[in-house]
Amino acid sequence: MSKGRKKGAGSTKKLVLNIVLYIIAVFLVLWSVLPILWMAISSLKVSTNMFTLPPQFIFRPELGTYKYMFTQAGFGKFLANSLIASISSTLVALFIGSLGGYALCRGRFKRQKDISFWIISTRMAPIPAVILPLYMIFSRLRMVGTMPGLVFAYTTFNLPFALWMMMAFFADVSPALEEAARVDGTSKFGAFLRIALPAASPGLAATGVLCMMFAWNDYVFASALSGASTQTIPIAASLLVTQTGIAWGQAMATGTIIVMPMLLGGLLMRKYLVKGFSMGAVK
C-alpha cells in the first residue's frame, strides 16, 4: 500500500514539474517572440495608430512606409550593401575556415594546440579594442569607405571563429573514411573534398549562419569603416534617430528587415544547426 502511494506521489510531482517547465517555456517564447511580432505589426501601421491605447490588433495593413523607404529614402542601397558585405565575408570565412580547420584537425605539426588557441584568442578581443588599429591599417591601404575594406573587416572576426568551429566538426568525422578513400587512389585534397567536407556539412551550415548573423547585425565596424556609398542597414537604423525625433514607422520597418531574414534563415536551417552543434560537442 505504501509503495503504491509513493508511486502515485512521484507521478504527481513529475506531472507538476512538467507543467511548471511548460509554463516557463511558453513564457520565454512569448518574451522572445512578442517584441519582434509587435515590431512587424507596427511597421504595417500608420504612425498615428502605433501608440494607441488599447492597442489595435485588427487594422488595415499599410505598406506606405516600406514603399517610401525603397523609392525615396534610398533604403535599397543600404540593403544591397548589407547583403554584399555579409554574404561575401561569410563565404570567404567558410572557404578559408574549412581548409584551415581541416589542417588544424588532421595536420601533424609542433605546438598544434597552442596555434589553435592563439587563433580563437584573436576572436576574443573586444571589437572597440581593434577598431583603431584596423582603421589605421585600412587608411594606409586606402580601404576605408570601400566595400572590400568592409568585407575584409568582417572576415577578420569571422575567420578565427570559422576555423575553430570547423576544426571541432572535422574532429567528429572518422579518419577511417578518408583513409579508405586514400587507399582507393584519392588524393588527400580529394578525400577532404569528397569525404570530410560533405560529412561535416551540418557544421559548415551552422558556422555559416553564425558568421552571417555577425556580419548582418554589425554596427561598430560599419560605422567606423564604411563610407557614404557603403553604409549598411544598422547604419540606416541609426540615422532614423535625430534631434527632432524618431521616425518610428521607418524604425519599425528597418528593425523588421534586420530581424526577419536571420529569423527565417535560422528556422529553415534549424535542423542543420542542431546537428552541427551536436557534431562539435565535447564527448
Q: pLDDT tens digits, residue range 32-48?
A: 888 888 888 888 887 76
* Long-range contacts, 33-36 (Cβ 8 Å, 24+): 36/259, 36/263
Q: Which residue has the higher pLDDT, 23 or 179?
A: 23
The length of the chain in residues reads 283
Give tens-digit pLDDT for 123-156. 777 888 888 888 899 899 889 889 999 999 999 8
Distance of alpha carbon 8 from alpha carbon 10, whole angstroms: 5
Q: Please name which of 15, 34, 48 lies closest in space to residue 249, comparing C-alpha atoms.
A: 48
- Per DSSP, the three-state class of 242 is strand
**pLDDT band at 282, cuts 50/70/90?**
very low
pLDDT at 239 exceeding the cut of 90: no
**pLDDT band at 280, cuts 50/70/90?**
very low
Distance of alpha carbon 224 from alpha carbon 239, whole angstroms: 15
Over pLDDT 70: what percentage of the chain? 91
Distance of alpha carbon 69 from alpha carbon 51, whole angstroms: 21
pLDDT at 283 exceeding the cut of 50: no
C-alpha cell at 181: 578513400
Over pLDDT 90: what percentage of the chain? 17
**pLDDT band at 279, cuts 50/70/90?**
low
Match 609542433 to its residue by C-alpha cell: 110
> What pLDDT, on a 0 to 100 scale, did the predictor assign at position 274?
64
Phi then psi for residue 54, to 5 deg, are -70, 160
Choice among 25-34, 85-94, 274-283 with the minimum mean pLDDT? 274-283
Say whether pTM exceeds 0.75.
yes
> What pLDDT, on a 0 to 100 scale, did the predictor assign at position 232?
92
Q: Which residue has the higher pLDDT, 7 or 253?
A: 253
C-alpha cell at 92: 570567404
> What pLDDT, on a 0 to 100 scale, did the predictor assign at position 43?
84
**pLDDT band at 89, cuts 50/70/90?**
very high
> What pLDDT, on a 0 to 100 scale, did the predictor assign at position 210?
87
Q: List CB contacts of 56: < 8 A, sequence separation 6 or more.
A: 45, 49
Residue 216's CB: how many other CB atoms inside 10 A? Answer: 23
Choice among 56-60, 76-80, 87-91, 276-280 with the minimum mean pLDDT? 276-280
Match 519599425 to its residue by C-alpha cell: 252
Q: Is 63 exposed, middle or buried (0-12, 13-18, 19+ CB in 10 A)?
A: exposed
> What pLDDT, on a 0 to 100 scale, did the predictor assign at position 92?
95
Distance of alpha carbon 92 from alpha carbon 40, whole angstroms: 32
Average pLDDT for the chain? 83
Distance of alpha carbon 168 from alpha carbon 202, whole angstroms: 12
pLDDT at 202 exceeding the cut of 80: yes
